[in-house]
Structure 1
Amino acid sequence: MSSVFMVDARARNSGESLVKKLELLMDRVGLPNLVKSGDRIAVKTHMGAPLTTRYLRSFYVRTAVDYVKKLGAKPTVVETTGLGLLDPRGTAKKYLEVALMHGFSKETLGAEILIMDGELGLDCVKVVVEGFKLKEVSIPKSLLDFDFILNLTHFKGHEMTAFSGAIKNIGVGCVGKETKYFIHYYDKPSVDPTLCDGCGKCVEICPVKAIQMVNGMAVLNQNMCYGCKACQTICSVKALKSTRVSDPSEIQLRVLDAVCGVLKAMGFNKILNVNFLLEVDWKCDCEHQQLGWSDLPIVPDIGILASKDIVAIDKASIDLVNSAPAIPGSQAYEVGAVNPGSDKFKMLYPRADWAFMLEMAEKLGLGFRNYTLIKVC
């Protein structure tokens, strides 16, 4: 049984500020015993999509950065590019612009921000895994330069995985575009010759030159393609086809395989997870195929959790959200997940089974569902 440590969201004086409580939480969970002076620490977080407003606040990240510095370690705030090259966070430059708009900078964080997979999301290596669905996982080369991951996650809902917590922050947030692509799609794009009009825009936009014009028609080399979706986005006649994964359980398994790849490369004991159960939205912090948006939180602020076990912390987070009353007017209220004890994520996303994902995470050896919740303050 794993230990999950918790501080609640109540503050009656300055000493009970969540900033102070976060420091106490990292003390109690034993972070000083997990890293040593000189270690390079990847402080992983998500900095939001252009129009989201409930991403994790930068001052929480700053608190973690300063804490790590006091231990003599060397923190860097890290992220990866979004899946689509032409999307708002599709390149390092575009993502850093969004980050700055949201208050994330070297000055506010006290540390450099590194988009680990490089400007176009190409700087990755592959890790072989014995996963449920994936047999290799693409991870950023620069991730391997770090000694430890401090995984800071804004806990929330997600339409394909039911919830988005520590697991997804690693399984999607610490992998390259190719694995992000294979989480969402079964196959690389192929050209439908009955639709291709020979305009050549896909040839020009492809960053790896995987597409050529042959007899006036685009031909895509799937072995060269790394799944950035640029060609599919730019094609006005939608001639580049691929099959999207529509079954939530399939996506859940692929995310778990990706987590396995990241932790296999880093070491399963080289991570500490911190979940922020604050402004818990029913949607994730990404674009939602647009520019993103944030809704009313579904429950009142609960607090912050920390654990070495990536499965236990997400199970505890789900249990705490389900134990809370819904906020009137929120999406949880609208679907009838009103009372404490109602399964909010199941009612919000009937097609996605969070319990299945955690069961399979345990089977894959990522952690344990059984936990002891230890209240720090």
Structure 2
Amino acid sequence: AKVVDDLVKSMGGVPFLTDCNTLYVGRRKNALEHMDAAYENGFSPFSTGCQIIIGDGLKGTDDVEVPVEGAEYIQTAKIGRAIMDADVFISLTHFKGHEATGFGGAIKNIGMGCGSRRGKMEQHNSGKPEVSKKKCVGCHQCAKQCGQDAISYGPDRKASIDQDKCVGCGRCLGACNFDAIFNRNASANDDLNRKMAEYAKGVVDGRPQFHISLVMDVSPFCDCHPENDIPIIPDVGMFASFDPVALDQACTDACLRQPVMPGSRLDQYLHTEGCEDHHDHFCNNFPETNWRSCLEHAEKIGLGTRSYELIEVK
């Protein structure tokens, strides 16, 4: 972040770091705790050289409805107001696996990260998870991750999800180590991927943009998981592009060429008796996901192109 900040300032810009508030439990549900968490993780004006602005305000309600040309799943994207006020948009992304979208790259960082709390809710609302009573062991890990108090336990000590309270954020899916939580709507993950692409288009359309992705420490889960595991593949490097779709495609292609990290979650899956090898690290990491649905839809609506020329700089 400091390198980008210095470069922007050298060109006469006034940069700021930003993010929007989250739906799930934790310290990013309001701007004050959000900024505390940023400072504690090394993102402060003293270390990065620029200020931090939480894009959708104190409680995640300060947003702008942005029309998205060509959108099929949303009418308007609900984006943090401060983000839409910026003249130039630069994304800096940690590339990783994800339990609902397959991987988290530039498009997810932009679409989900810049969506306000109601924007995140709109992206997630295609499906709400349910619990397999047979697989649930009553460990309470899912309830600890639920920011809506939607998970309770009955006399049988099995979890159940209140569908009226649930917002479909998917945090419980990643928290469960026993595959007891599932989404009955088979298209929910694909719908989420396509909505993210439409939200990302709402963020970047009509203004200068540049995107950087760090394909390092590629964890199996999203960065929001405090219980994350070791990387699933070796470090690859840094990628950059003016096109977020081409960037995500290039990062994915590079990841798929890497060997599996021994002892990782991905390695354990491939050594599980009866597992189906999809010959795709991200699909093997979470077999119910389909990352291609995001990139295909992003290209379809004009966010960018999946074609790219890779120029290596050493």
Q: Where on the TM-score scale, by shorter chain, does this alignment land: which range?
A: 0.7 to 0.9
CA contact (8 A) 2:149 2:165 kept: no
Distance in structure 1 (CA, Å) of the matches to 2:167 and 2:21: 22
Distance 1:234 1:357, change over 3 A: closer
Match of 2:288 in 1: 351
Match of 1:286 in 2: 224
Q: Please state how far the C-alpha of 1:88 moved relative to its aligned partner.
A: 2.3
Distance in structure 2 (CA, Å) of the matches to 1:239 and 1:174: 26
Matched, 1:326 2:260: yes
Q: Please state how far the C-alpha of 1:242 moved relative to its aligned partner.
A: 5.2
TM-score of the pair, normalised by structure 2: 0.78
Distance in structure 1 (CA, Å) of the matches to 2:48 and 2:259: 33
**How many positions carry a matched residue from both structures?**
265
Match of 2:193 in 1: 252
Match of 1:271 in 2: 209
Q: Please state how far the C-alpha of 1:235 moved relative to its aligned partner.
A: 9.7
Matched, 1:118 2:57: yes
Match of 1:167 in 2: 107
Deviations 1:8-41 (A, max 9, x none): xxxxxxxxxxxxxxxxxxxxxxxxxxxxxxxxxx
Q: Please state how far the C-alpha of 1:342 moved relative to its aligned partner.
A: 4.1
CA contact (8 A) 2:32 2:58 kept: yes
Distance in structure 1 (CA, Å) of the matches to 2:240 and 2:248: 10
Matched, 1:89 2:23: no
Distance in structure 1 (CA, Å) of the matches to 2:163 and 2:212: 43
Distance in structure 2 (CA, Å) of the matches to 1:240 and 1:358: 31
Match of 1:196 in 2: none
Which has the higher Rg, Structure 1 or Structure 2? 1
Distance 1:144 1:184, change over 3 A: closer
Gaps of 5+ in 1: 1-60, 188-228
Q: Please state how far the C-alpha of 1:260 moved relative to its aligned partner.
A: 2.0
Q: Secondary structure in 1 aligned to 2:217?
A: coil
Match of 2:89 in 1: 149
CA contact (8 A) 2:17 2:52 kept: yes
TM-score of the pair, normalised by structure 1: 0.65
Deviations 1:271-311 (A, max 9, x none): 10101011111111114xxxx22211111111100001110
Matched, 1:98 2:37: yes
Q: Please state how far the C-alpha of 1:335 moved relative to its aligned partner.
A: 2.2
Matched, 1:72 2:6: no
Distance 1:140 1:332, change over 3 A: same
Match of 2:139 in 1: none
Q: Which region of structure 1 is more displaced relative to structure 2, 166-175 or 93-102?
A: 93-102
Counting only pairs closer than 5 Å after superposition, residues 36-55 of structure 1 correspond to structure 2 as none
The letter for the 2-side match of 1:254 is K
Gaps of 5+ in 2: 128-145, 154-161, 170-182, 272-277
Q: Please state how far the C-alpha of 1:241 moved relative to its aligned partner.
A: 3.8
Distance in structure 1 (CA, Å) of the matches to 2:266 and 2:26: 29
